[in-house]
Amino acid sequence: MAAILNVTIVSASQSVWTGEAVQLSARTVEGEIGILAGHEPILAILAPGEVRVTTPDGEQITAKADDGFLSVEHDTVTVVSRDAELV
């Protein structure tokens, strides 16, 4: 079984999605970033675009996120966006 990430995606007004994942991809101002379990701690500024999450059962979750940041620490990924919603 693949190692697990705990992911939370929130906007300024609501929690958009919370759950377990095996992978997360997002667009940052530096370029596209992919996160797997064991990733080094990072704080990145989001660029407007999609945040894509792959759950342990293979389901694909996609959220549209505008401005914000992505934080990774101890297999916990937090995406905070001014405006975010599931697509």
The CATH number linked to 58 is: 2.60.15.10
Q: What digits encode the pLDDT tens for the residues 26-83?
A: 999 999 999 999 999 999 999 999 999 999 999 999 999 998 999 999 999 999 999 9
**Would you tell me how many other CB atoms lie within 10 Å of the CB of residue 43?**
10
Number of domains in the chain: 1
- Give residue 63's domain range: 5-86
Question: What is the rounded CA–CA span in Å between residue 35 and residue 14?
Answer: 23
Strands 31-35 and 15-21 turn out to be: unpaired
Q: Classify residue 87 by its DSSP letter.
A: -
Whole-prediction pTM: 0.93
